[in-house]
Amino acid sequence: MTLLFRRERGRLPAGTAYIAGRTIREGGVVVFPTETVYGMGADALNSAAVKRIFEIKGRPLDNPVIVHVCSRGQVEQLARDVPAMGRILMERFWPGPLTLVLRKGPAVPAPVTAGLDTVSVRMPDNRTALSLIRQARTPIAAPSANISGRPSITSFEEAVGELDGLVDVIIDGGSSRIGVESTVLDLTSGVPSILRPGGVTAEQLREIMPGLTIHPAAEGFTVYRGKAPSPGMKYRHYAPVHSRVLLFESQPGLEEAMIAKWRQISRSGRTAAFLVTDETEIHTGTVVRLGSRERPEEIARRLFSSLRQLDRSGVDYILAEGIGEEGIGLAVMNRLRRSAGKARGRSPAHRKESGSSP
């Protein structure tokens, strides 16, 4: 049985954080809101509790999880030799959607890091999440709160629909403010590298680190071979359960190409729906709009919930429009490409970026 904490008049019941924190301390699993997506959390220093997360999600054991903290002191519990740049980034972007990959300390159990010598750490920018970590009195290991491979969850209703009866507690935090996961930045190699794009953009990071690189897997075209140092690099992610995503990247004649595909699918006796921006002139069939190309943050916030909405509708295909990769657009395209199964295997290598656009 799952204990549900629902908000009433915008407030959570008294004692929510205390009860959920005690659940974490006792080895339980709690689904909680963050500013990015909902997380599925357990005591990061309790190996058995972390393994429960993998079992509930059906997550491969070689896929590391991110550890959430509420203070710099907790970082010292988890990591060793934190570089000076790491402290600068914490000062600038924490709390917030930036995960730092650091050298692992001895207290971190192997399941958290998938056996790697690195640990991924962030401080969420969400009062409920921070209160939960404080009440738990331990860092919380928390991948996204969804069955592995599916679109991430960005609302309490989605969390209950997918995870009620599988976890111990689900906390209502409304809709996620950002809607895509955190940026993962590797600080353990010679040059800082984005392993997964997210809520902190490459442009923001380059203001501090002009030599920043972007790993090929971050674009969503490639998968990592070997032990991946970050979530979201190795396996297919963000895919609807019933519907197949067909991605149309920006090109002349985009609307005509999408409508032609819709007609072809319809003639075959199958169904399709469009997932497009406000500016795209498509008014045929079922159309779900993500928002304006001029407001990519809005598109990011709506992406996962829109994929889930269309998947629930039972359509065979989702014809999705791509957007520009500037700013948070890179994170959106990473998710869309992986949702559509665009990633193909390549040997892990870093690609140096130049200019202001990744």
Looking at residue 166, its pLDDT comes to 98
234: confidence class by pLDDT, cuts 50, 70, 90: low
Q: Where are the beta strands (DSSP E) in the chain?
A: 3-5, 30-32, 39-43, 66-68, 79-80, 98-104, 118-122, 140-141, 169-171, 183-186, 193-196, 213-214, 222-223, 244-248, 272-276, 286-289, 317-321, 344-345, 351-352
The mean per-residue pLDDT over the stretch 51-67 comes to 94
Residue 352 banded pLDDT, cuts 50, 70, 90 = very low
Cα–Cα–Cα angle for 308, 202, 353, rounded to 5 degrees: 115
pLDDT band at 342 (very low <50, low <70, confident <90, very high): confident
Q: Is the pLDDT of residue 2 over 60?
A: yes
Least confident of 51-65, 105-119, 331-345: 331-345
Mean pLDDT lowest among 112-116, 206-210, 219-223, 330-334: 219-223
Residue 311 above 50 pLDDT? yes
As a whole number, mean pLDDT of residues 135-162 equals 97
Of 222, 315, 209, 233, give the one whose Cα is nearest residue 60. 233
Average pLDDT over residues 254-281: 97
Tell me the mean pLDDT in the region 315-327. 97
pLDDT of residue 355: 25
Please say if the pLDDT value at position 267 is more than 80.
yes
Reported confidence tier of residue 217, pLDDT bands at 50, 70, 90? confident
What is the percent of the chain where pLDDT is above 90? 85
Using pLDDT thresholds of 50, 70 and 90, give the confidence band for residue 358: very low
Tokens 């795209």 correspond to 280
Q: Identify the residue with better confidence: 61 or 147.
A: 147
Which pLDDT score, from 0 to 100, does residue 232 have? 61
Q: Which long-range contacts (CB under 8 A, 24 or more apart) does 15-18 make?
A: 16/128, 16/171, 17/128, 17/131, 17/132, 17/134, 17/135, 18/135
* Structural domains for the chain: 3-83+103-179 (3.90.870.10), 244-342 (3.40.50.11030)
Q: pTM here?
A: 0.92
Strand partners, 288: 275
Region of residue 269 (left: phi > 0; alpha: psi -120 to 50; beta: else):
left
